[in-house]
Amino acid sequence: MESEQRPNERTVSQLGEFGLIRRVTAQGTGSTNTLLGPGDDAAVLAAPDGRVVATTDVLVQDVHFRLDWSSPHQVGRKAVAVNLSDVAAMGAVPTGLLVGLGCASDAPTELVDGLASGMREEAGLVGTDVVGGDMVTSTTLTISVTALGDLQGRAPVTRGGARPGDVVAVAGRLGWAAAGWAVLARGFRSPLAVVGAHRVPEPPYSAGPLAADAGATAMIDVSDGLLADLGHIAEASGVAIDLHSDRIGVPQRLSEVASALGANPWRWVLTGGEDQALVASFPHDAVLPPGWQPIGAVTEGSGVTVDGSEYAEETGWQHWTG
């Protein structure tokens, strides 16, 4: 058991989100039915009659959402969407959700109603629903969602299978939620195209299992930023990844929003999270499924580059340090 404090590791911000995860997972899991995890978008557990995919993401008021920026219904949709995208990133389909809710004693019941209806709406998009949960009092509105999923006979697509020579491809949007966040943070409420992307992501759920069926060697959903999340694939796979900027491009709408704000849209595309796009590596001769666009290549080495150069700024969101 680790109980004594090490020098220079006295607060969580000194370790950072990923240092903390390394610390709490360092001893591995003692659970004998763990087929995979922790360390990927979801764990895979052996059950006597099959395998279960399991993943949790927590959303906290004023960290992940603001109630003056988003309705409870939108927050409920987002809380479910970010979890369903982790299931998709394994190549699985969701089977059920568990919801832990911490809310203040003076919270209006409409808040809980809105959250619950948003969750049901998002879950319904993929034919699943909430099957259980827990409610507690809390000074900060906190929503913890656990999603369970089924691999339908597929091998899970981990973060660790990318190989030199593979093609890197993306399904879904990049930079839209970050643009929306930037707009809202400046006190604006439009354009709705980007503000809506911050409020409710639109993960390409079916692209996950399709990628698995097409032979994807590694996959992750983009929650923190394209470069940061591809960094997890590069690290877990022991490879380097180079992105081709001309293959990615900046959507016209994001360029317009960026020039209105005096911001850099390319930074949103490369390092903005929360659109929950899927990025994956495929063998170079694989036929990419519908919705997948090639954006780069896997090579020998380490790290993620853009057109051969390291990105000079933060590569994505990190709790405490970012």
Ligand X SMILES: Cc1ncc(C[n+]2csc(CCOP(=O)(O)O)c2C)c(N)n1
Q: Counting contacts by CB under 6 A, is residue 40 touching ligand ATP? A: yes
Q: Is 285 annotated as a binding residue?
A: no
Helix 72-88 and helix 109-125, axial crossing angle in degrees, nearest 10: 30
One of 138, 291, 317, 321 touching ligand X (CB under 6 A) = 317
How far is Cα 219 from Cα 40, in angstroms, rounded to an integer? Answer: 9
Contact 195, 183 (CB under 8 A): yes
Q: Counting contacts by CB under 6 A, is residue 86 touching ligand ATP? A: yes
Q: Counting contacts by CB under 6 A, is residue 24 touching ligand ATP? A: yes
Token pair in block for residue 238: 């022991």
Q: How far is the CB of 141 from ligand ATP (least distance, A)?
A: 18
The string over 72-111, giving b where at least 16 C-beta atoms fall within 10 Å of a residue's C-beta and e elsewhere, is: bbbbbbbbbbbbbbbbbbbbbbbbbbbbbbbbeeebeeeb
At a CB cut-off of 8 Å and minimum separation 6, what does 209 contact? Answer: 88, 91, 92, 93, 152, 154
Token pair in block for residue 267: 């930074």
Q: Scanning residues 195 to 224, which ones bind ligand ATP (CB under 6 A)?
A: 223-224
Token pair in block for residue 152: 């339908």
Q: Write the interaction track for ligand X spanning residues 255-294; mark x where CB under 6 A is met and - where it is not.
A: ------------------xx--------------------
Token pair in block for residue 242: 């180079």
Q: How far is the CB of 291 from ligand X (least distance, A)?
A: 22
Residue 64's binding partner among Mg ion, ligand ATP, ligand X, none (Cβ under 5 to 8 angstroms by kind) is: ligand X
Using CB under 6 A, list all residues that contact ligand ATP.
21, 24-25, 37-41, 57, 82, 86, 223-224
Binding residues for ATP: 133-134, 159, 223
Binding residues for substrate: 64, 274, 317
Using CB under 6 A, list all residues that contact ligand X.
57, 62-66, 82, 181, 223-224, 273-274, 317
